[in-house]
Amino acid sequence: MTDDLKKAYQRLLDLTKEIHILNSTMSLLDWDEKTYMPKGGVENRGNQLAYLAGLSHEKFTAPEIGDLLKQLEGSSLLGDPDSFETANVREIKHAYDKLVKVPKSLVEELTRVTTIAHGVWAEARQKSDFSIFLPYLEKVIKLKLQQAEAVGYEKYPYDALLDDFETGSTIEKVAKVFADFRQELVDLVKAIRDSKKRPDPSILTRDFPVDRQERFGKEAARVIGYEFEKGRLDLTVHPFCTGIGPGDVRITTRYNPKHFGQAFFGILHESGHGIYDQGLDPQRWGTPGGDAVSLGIHESQSRMWENLVGRSKAFWKHFFPKAQQVYPEALGKVKFDDFFFAINEVAPSFIRVEADEVTYNLHILVRFEIEQSFFSGDLNAKDIPGAWNEKFENYFGIVPPDDAQGCLQDVHWSVGYIGYFPTYSLGNLYASQFFNQAKKEIGDLEDQFARGEFAPLKRWLNEKIHKLGQRYRAEKLVEVVTGKPLSHRPLMDYLKSKYGQLYGI
């Protein structure tokens, strides 16, 4: 490798790190907007973020980056296809090739509109009135369609957006993922519905004071590995995790004093995201080698800690006695098996983030199909509530009573995250396959969880997934870690085994 190549590579990384500083500043402003910023600041915040987004875009699409990429491509520096050097150049070029096609003015306008749209969505959700949000959603859809046309695509405009969240994925690939396990999932839901065994969900809807929920949720997050010295937990309308940078990863939640699981499992979920971001290599921050692989892989980490760990019997052997101490009035006399069955109840529900493991992917299917329809022009934005309710009745047999529990429940469209939803189902698949491999390599995870020992699993995830950054793309990472391509089999085997025992089917 020549000195010129080394210098070119280092210059490329220096430039991307500079851009990451800008992006992390935007992340902090975005976090503030969704947590503590007064409503009156929305328009100015939109202008702030639009300016920074335009500046970031301008720096990333600068001719110098294009020249450096040309110099590095095909060079001796990239001799090893699996090296961090190769990954960094590959992923920077992939992003550059897309962004250079998008006008700076469009980036700025998208950022400004989505910042305002998020505030309007929060109001519309609170009032359960889709008409308030409609004109802003129409603007977002129009701008995202312009983005897709600018970037380009082979078959469907939606693919250009999906690639932002799951590099290389397409409608056809996602549809195949659903097709592989949809019927098995539907059959399992039917078998559970026909079972005569039923939990007592009222166990979870007693009085659970918010201050105790916060204390208990924070302790659980800390025990599984979320580091509060490098993070924090705050309130928001729709829970999320934001990685500001090394040593600063923030999670949020919302509390319901009449429901135990909404905040608790939400905190575990966001802690999973946080543990991933805290596990990235800080020495590689600002480069693809120090960034998460994809939203699907990110979701695999949150779903693993929330469900495969957090809803397991072993987890509650450790935490249930503690929960009884924190909530003596609500849980003091509840039997362990009754509580475990209650937190794993399978039942049609309106809210995605509170859905059980079995029906969750049906929630994603509803959103995936509606996104495709309105983005292709087959469905007008004004008709989304009706289409949502119709699909919901078809898949779940229930109709949302209002927009807040229907098409307004998710934040994604307001912030321009069209194409994000499919990554949730991919995350479920990745999670199960990773977890199976972890059990093979670590040993008896159930015994460890029952003793309150979660560090071995966290360390395994740190080494096998987090510290690799984007060294491998998602499809290859699964094969590198598990020795097999992604399959729906581990997820379905897990669901059938667990819920077959609970429901006697």
pLDDT tens column, 148-163: 999 999 999 999 999 9
Task: Give 234's strand partners.
Answer: 252
Instruction: Give the Cα separation of 445 and 464 in Å (integer).
Output: 16
> What is the predicted pLDDT for the residue at 183?
86
Distance, in Å, from the CA atom of 298 to the CA atom of 86, rounded to the nearest integer, reads 22
- Report how far residue 200's alpha carbon sits from residue 345's, in angstroms, rounded to the nearest whole number: 9
The secondary structure element, H or E, covering residue 241 is strand 241-245
Angle of CA points 215, 302, 46, to nearest 5°: 85
Structure tokens at 80: 């090893």
Helix (H, G, I), strand (E, B) or coil at 250: strand
DSSP of 278-340, one letter per residue?
A: HHS-GGGTTSGGGS-S-HHHHHHHHHIIIIIITTSHHHHHHHHHHHHHH-HHHHTT--HHHHH
Per-residue pLDDT at 3 = 85
Contact 387, 373 (CB under 8 A): yes
Per-domain boundaries in the chain: 3-152, 171-503
Q: What angle do CA 272, 449, 327 make, to 5 degrees?
A: 80
CA distance 265 to 430: 19
Angle between helices 422-442 and 455-464 (to 10 degrees): 110
Helix axes 295-303, 260-279, angle to 10 degrees: 130
For residue 160, CA distances in Å to 104, 154, 373, 375, 442 come to 18, 9, 15, 11, 39
Token pair in block for residue 369: 């199909």
Tell me how far apart the alpha carbons of residues 438 and 446 are, in angstroms, rounded to a whole number: 12
Contact 413, 374 (CB under 8 A): no
d(CA 23, CA 55): 10
Concerning whether 270 is annotated as a catalytic residue, the answer is yes
Q: Is 453 helix (H, G, I), strand (E, B) or coil?
A: coil
Architecture of domain 171-503: Orthogonal Bundle (1.10)
Tell me the three state secondary structure of residue 452.
coil
Model confidence over 3-29: pLDDT tens digits?
889 999 999 999 999 999 999 999 999
Residues belonging to the chain:
505
What the block records as the tokens of 277 is 């971001």
pLDDT at 274: 98
The pLDDT score that the predictor gives to residue 1 is 61
- In which residue ranges of the chain is pLDDT below 50? none
The two structure tokens encoding residue 187: 């059959």
CB 434 within 8 A of CB 367: no
Q: What is the pLDDT of residue 178?
A: 84
Question: From CA 332, how far away is CA 195, in angstroms rounded?
Answer: 29
Q: Cα separation of 479 and 482, whole Å?
A: 5
What sign for the dihedral angle of Cα 118, 124, 128, 130? negative
Quote the DSSP letter at residue 39.
G
Select which of 270, 299, 306, 357 is catalytic: 270
C-alpha dist (Å) from residue 167 to 52, 301, 340: 24, 18, 38
Burial class for 441, CB neighbours closer than 10 Å (0-12, 13-18, 19+): exposed
